[in-house]
């Protein structure tokens, strides 16, 4: 396919061409924003390494009944409505790796953003949440933790 053929296609299909250009800009913007947001998404295997190597604090934002049904060993339960970056639990961990976790990864991404804004140095979130952890066949602990 030559450049002339592409230009001819764009001339015949202006809306498709605009849609392609818009999607390309959106993808580039999203990827650049991800690089500069200051916190990083982790896959389950990366999280296990961070816990083992750097004694990461794992904060689980799942509802308490979900937390009791299964959570990552050593994680601390914090209700989303009570998540406070100035809490006693988090205040001592400003220089440690802190990993926000929830059931699906949505609430934890928001919590990671708040932690980074509050001055935490090493902030992560578990991409896909506990569901991704289970899909990776990693164990969960039952009970209050």
Q: Give this prediction's pTM.
A: 0.74
Q: What is the 3 state secondary structure string of the chain?
A: CCHHHHHHHHHHCHHHHHHHHHHHHHHHHHHHHHHHCCEEEECHHHHHHHHHHHCCEEEECCCHHHHHHCECCCCEECCHHHCCCCCHHHHCCCCCEEEEECCCCHHHHHHHHHHHHCCCCEEEEECCHHHHHHHCCCCCECCCC
Cα(10)–Cα(18) distance, rounded to whole angstroms? Answer: 9
| Rg of the chain on CA atoms, in Å | 20
pLDDT bucket at 129, cuts 50 / 70 / 90: very high
Q: Report whether pLDDT(35) > 80.
A: no
Give the pLDDT confidence of 65-119 residue by residue, as tens digits.
999 999 999 999 998 888 888 888 887 788 889 999 999 988 898 899 889 888 8
């Amino acid at each position: 396919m030559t450049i002339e053929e592409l230009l001819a296609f764009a001339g015949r299909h202006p809306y498709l061409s605009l849609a392609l250009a818009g999607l390309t800009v959106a993808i580039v913007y999203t990827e650049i924003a991800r690089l500069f947001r200051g916190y990083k998404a982790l896959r389950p295997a990366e999280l296990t390494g961070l816990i083992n190597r750097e004694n990461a604090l794992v904060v689980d934002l799942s509802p308490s009944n979900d937390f009791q049904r299964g959570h990552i060993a050593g994680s601390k339960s914090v209700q989303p409505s009570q998540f406070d970056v100035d809490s006693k639990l988090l205040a001592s961990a400003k220089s440690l790796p802190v990993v926000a976790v929830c059931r699906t990864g949505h609430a934890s991404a928001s919590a990671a953003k708040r932690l980074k804004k509050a001055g935490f140095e090493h902030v992560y979130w578990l991409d896909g949440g506990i569901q991704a952890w289970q899909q990776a066949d990693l164990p969960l602990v039952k009970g209050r933790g």
